[in-house]
Amino acid sequence: MERRAARLLAVASAGGHWVQLLRLRPAFNGFDVIFLTTNKHCRCEADGQRVHLVNEASRWNKLALLLMAVRVMWVIACVRPDFIVSTGAAPGYIAVRLGRLIGARTIWIDSMANADELSLSGRRVGRYADLWLTQWPHLASSSGPNYKGAVL
């Protein structure tokens, strides 16, 4: 019986988070990769791989955030990923939190743009991620996040 490739859900908001996630694609070789993002125009950059869309939301719009959480939950329920990798922001935070509930291994890579301090999502997600990374050495600490290099 042939084993299926491990399923990886790669999650990022559109913009810089998405660009950084796409730069990680070589690390995803050998996985069945499914993307989740917030902008339909990102589909053309996914090289024919499956892309699920959720609405954009922030902490300032609680209703949109709730709708996003329901949509992320639906994608996770349908995809059943073995791994979840996110470069942020809100959809990644939600995916990491919900993914843990189904036993997915999770990785959070805080955005390169957060040079002075961790992002809000990055600060909050740390205790839920199996691997919590920053792209700035001076933001790493013994209690996390860890620094292993930068994506850009």
33 versus 149: the higher-pLDDT residue is 33
Residue 14 lies in a domain: yes
Q: How confident is the model at residue 3 (pLDDT cuts 50, 70, 90)?
A: confident
DSSP the chain: -PPPPPEEEEEE-TTHHHHHHHHTGGGGTTSEEEEEES-GGGGGGSTT-EEEE-----TT-HHHHHHHHHHHHHHHHHH--SEEEEEESHHHHHHHHHHHHTT-EEEEE--TT--SS--HHHHHHTTT-SEEEESSGGG--TTS-EE-----
CATH of the domain at 70: 3.40.50.2000
Structurally, the chain folds into a number of domains equal to 1
Residue 152 lies in a domain: no
Residue-averaged pLDDT of the chain: 94
Residue 31 lies in a domain: yes
Residue 2 lies in a domain: no
The predicted model gives 40-67 an average pLDDT of: 93
- Could you tell me what percent of the chain has a pLDDT over 90? 80
Residue 30 lies in a domain: yes
Residue 112 lies in a domain: yes
Residue 92 lies in a domain: yes
Predicted local confidence at residue 152, as pLDDT = 63
**pLDDT tens readout for residues 66-125:** 999 999 999 999 999 999 999 999 999 999 999 999 999 999 999 888 889 998 898 999
Domain extent for 139: 7-147
Q: Would the pLDDT of 47 be above 80?
A: yes
Residue 69 lies in a domain: yes
